[in-house]
Chain A
Amino acid sequence: MSTTVTPPPKKTNRLGLEVLSYKGSKTTLCAGCGHNSISERIVECFYELGVNPYTVAKFSGIGCSSKSPAYFLGMSHGFNGVHGRMPAIATGAMLANRTLLGLGVTGDGDTASIGIGQFMHLVRRNIPMIYVIEDNGVYGLTKGQFSATADIGSTQKNGAPNDLPPFDCCALAMKWGATFVARSFSGDKKQLQAIIKTAIVHNGLSVIDVVSPCVTFNDHLGSTKSYSYMKDHESVLQELDFVPAFEDIAVDIAEGEVMDVRMFDGSHLRIRKLGRDYDPTDRFKGLKALEEAEAKHEVLTGVLYVNPTKPTFFDTLNMADEALATLPQEKTRPSRETLETVLEELR
């Protein structure tokens, strides 16, 4: 007589999908690359929140970071475009189908060097999508040249110093219109998860700058984007806790210490202050704090700014609620009478 062993039930999320459904192909990036950690966080967050992978559209530009969308959410459509111009592709796709959940993954060269113009205009339009910058300060694919987020005075692997100041993509995003702005570190699993989950439910542009060390070209002593530099200079603003709408946990706010931000879909972002007086709904003070931190060679991480109610670009355009791409002909081709009206005016 044989005994049958029932295998333990497979772990699934609220859609009944396993985590495997959120994975992509095997990474081809270097072992230890911060970008791989970010890919893992994306897989976890989309799985845990039970996001339908069919509704996600992934976008990227060119570079190591831009390869990574192949390594997560394999059941989502992806578009690896041209260098620095991912915002345009993403904007067009989101206009065509506003029901998509847009997820852009890009790098510091793609965003702050060749793509700074498109990045700024994406920010200005507040397109509802997630924009992750995998920020390592160098061009990995072309072997270690500086990008425009490299700090002044930091050096290349060969010792050559950077003599220009960096763009702070978070400060730019806060100043010019993004409605959820955060900075994190690829090594901080918990913080990055809370930030990504908040971005998933945010109705507006989320800019997430993640310091993500390049182990091959920028993890040395002169680097300000290395694992060891972050260990010494990261200044964590808050402890973050994301409570999704579907968990329906009554929110009780501890006096003074915890700030609760209600997101568009009813989820909550709970922000526990760590002895600092930082209000992420106050843009002006936030920008000041970034300036002060830079002077002290500190890297502020956490939620820098959140505004869950500002109108998005779709609102500004008064666009139909359904996807424009698949509107039926009755809605997109005006009538015979309309043509006759127009022609009569031209006679």
Chain B
Amino acid sequence: MSTLEVSPSEPVSGPSGHTITNDFSIQVATVNGSGSQTANTVLMRSLFQMGIPVSGKNMFPSNIAGLPTWFTIRASKQGYIGRRKEIDFLVAMNPETAREDVMKLDRGAAVVYDEPLKLNALRSDLHFYPVPFDKLVVPVCPEAKLRKLVRNMIYDGVVAWLLSIEMEEVHKALVKQFGKKKAKAAELNWGAAMAGYEFASKTFTKSDPYRVERMNETAGKIIIDGNAACALGAMFAGVTVVTWYPITPSSSLVESLIGYLKRFRHDKETGKATYAVVQAEDELASIGMALGAGWAGARSMTATAGPGISLMSEFIGLGYYAEIPAVIFDVERVGPSTGLPTRTQQGDILTNAILSHGDTKHPMLFPCSPEECFTMAIEAFDFAERFQTPVFVMTDLDLGMNNWMADPFPYPEKPIERGKVLSGEDLDRLGGFARYKDVDGDGVGYRTLPGTKHPMASYFTRGSGHNDRALYTEREDDYIHNMDRLAHKFEVMRKHLPAPVVHQAENAEIGFIAVGTSDYAVRESCDQLRNEYNIHASYMRLLGYPFCEEMLDFIRRHDRIYVVDQNRDGQLLGLMRLELEPNLIAKLRSIRYYGGLPLDARTVTDEIIAQEGK
């Protein structure tokens, strides 16, 4: 979207006379493995340090080096940090994609490009800024083999000049990025950034309208990816056994966790680890170990993505039926099968809700931000032990792997809750126990941990039919009684999940229901609908499954409910259809996006307008 007052055929030249401040998106197109991640992070951080709300999205290939990568930075004075579909400012560094990247732009956009690509010949309605990167890099980087990595930092300087980004902030961001240990690398890169800045200031006359201006909207905030936030949550939840198998996009969750545990979870006196992390041989083993550990009383977890979920299916059924706590972080990516491993989707909602054969149901938590990744990770461990069952924390690649501006995390004030575990003294007092007996009416039995020194502590855990006393049974009444108790336990969970976030619009006929990262697009779309079409829409963001009572009231209050799904088949909607009354189902409509990029507001708004017949 451009507000430039020119007709499509009219060439753009010279200063346009008006400016667009702190409201645009920059796309940097590079080749992966070229060190562009550093340049892009520094650019994003510089804007953040200037107090401007910012988000960064990395669209990268499933590859180590040589394939196209796009990084999009959005600056938004209104604080919208979802993906913006329209690109206003392109940095074209990749010869392979440059032509298509330029052709896709709306008129009036600005393009910084590698001079030999001669992109200015392609269109006449854009603002072009050619930069001879290869020439500029030689004097700032005498060592030829490092030039490929330093070269990209030049565009940071060029863009800084063009957008009025303060170079002191670029410098500060660079120093932060490289850390104290890599001061020499930081210096080299700073030279490249300055070379770009000086070249731009001497060479260009700014003709595009985009610029930044210092704000005060990011004070106290942090920049973090969702995977690291989940990792921190797990560490502060007191996780003790972590088992995993590497898979994009969840690997960095456990890698961050390993880093934090090494720093903060060794006994001060003995130096020994108060945790165990095991890279398992596959996901069957990682979930098996997590369940074994949960059974023996550890706070255990694993992290995975779609293909891993498929492999874990059998064990998750055991966890459900034998009632063993474990936390599974599912950083969703695009399926089916291998799918698009480096693209985002909410592809596992329906699968996870009923994962494994037979009648099974599993609770899920849906964080949408790093803050919620942190707080819900902690909640997930408490919830798993309280209800003695596997719990899924559902994030996605967008949340997990991209850097987000976030509020600082609150220290967990609530003591760690270990659920219903009987000690030897308890058994003395009670004179025994029945593992699966519903003593308290919440469907949750009392358990003992192996190693409990008491003659009545032991019981035999099994995935085969069992009665209240955990004894093998094939009796019809025992089976039904047990399955009904499990169903009742699931009903009780409904009331103990985090409450939904509701934005109720006055006199709204329509409402949105969404989970997770759809939030950014839906909130921005609500504003677009109101400002551009005078449509008032309410919005309920669910934080957990099983669905809450409030959701039913929300649906009743509106004529039409748009359920937003980042998958082809409307999985969230499908899950609602499985459980709701027909009169409520009749109100449900579907908005689906499944292209693998983070959902954007315009896509949602356009779809609403089409379905509402406006």
Binding site for B on A (CB under 8 A): 21, 52-55, 57, 59, 69-70, 74-82, 85, 87-97, 99-100, 117-118, 121, 317-321, 323-327, 329, 331-334, 336, 338-339, 342-343, 346-347
Contact = CB atoms under 8 A, between A and B. Distances in A.
Contacts of B264: 334, 338
Interface string B162-183: 0000000000000000000000
Interface string B263-283: 011010011111111101110
B318 interface: yes
Interface residues of B, number: 73
Given A81-B463, A85-B315, 11 more contacts: A57-B296, A77-B450, A88-B287, A89-B295, A90-B292, A92-B290, A96-B294, A96-B295, A319-B272, A338-B264, A343-B409
A93 B293 contact: yes
Contacts of B472: 70
B285 A118 contact: yes
Given A76-B458, A77-B448, A320 B289 contact: no
Of B223, B290, B462, most buried by chain A (CB within 10 Å of CB) is B462
Interface string B87-121: 00000000000000000000000000000000000
Contact of A80 (B281, B451, B464): B464
Interface in B459-473: 459-464, 472
A82 B315 CA distance: 7
Given A57-B296, A92-B300, A319 B273 contact: yes
B289 A80 contact: no
B457 interface: yes
A99 B452 CA distance: 11
B412 to A, nearest CB: 7
Of B291, B453, B472, most buried by chain A (CB within 10 Å of CB) is B291
Contact of A92 (B243, B271, B284): B243
Interface of B: 220-224, 232, 235-241, 243, 260, 264-265, 267, 270-278, 280-282, 284-300, 314-315, 318, 408-409, 411-412, 415-416, 448-455, 457-464, 472
A59 B458 CA distance: 13
A55 B224 contact: no
13 contacts: A54-B455, A57-B450, A77-B449, A88-B280, A96-B300, A317-B276, A319-B273, A324-B298, A327-B274, A334-B264, A334-B265, A339-B232, A343-B409
Contact of B297 (A79, A323, A342): A323
A347 B458 contact: no
A346 B464 CA distance: 48
A97 B290 contact: no
A184 B472 CA distance: 30
B314 A320 contact: no
A126 to B, nearest CB: 13
Contact of B240 (A324, A336, A347): A324
B314 A82 contact: yes
A324 B451 contact: no
A303 B290 CA distance: 33
A78 B462 CA distance: 8
Contacts of B458: 53-54, 74-78
Given A325-B297, A346-B223, A89 B289 contact: yes
Contact of A121 (B220, B221, B281): B281
A325 B236 contact: no
A55 B318 CA distance: 24
Given A78-B458, A80-B461, A88 B289 contact: yes
A74 B460 CA distance: 9
Nearest to B219: A347
Those 9 A-B pairs whose CB atoms lie nearest each other, nearest first: A88-B288, A92-B292, A325-B297, A332-B238, A96-B298, A77-B450, A92-B289, A96-B296, A92-B293
A346 B222 contact: yes
A88 B232 contact: no
Contacts of A89: 288-289, 291-292, 295
A268 to B, nearest CB: 28
B461 A88 contact: no
A46 B274 CA distance: 31
Contacts of A88: 280, 284-289, 291-292, 315
Given A318-B273, A347-B221, A334 B236 contact: yes
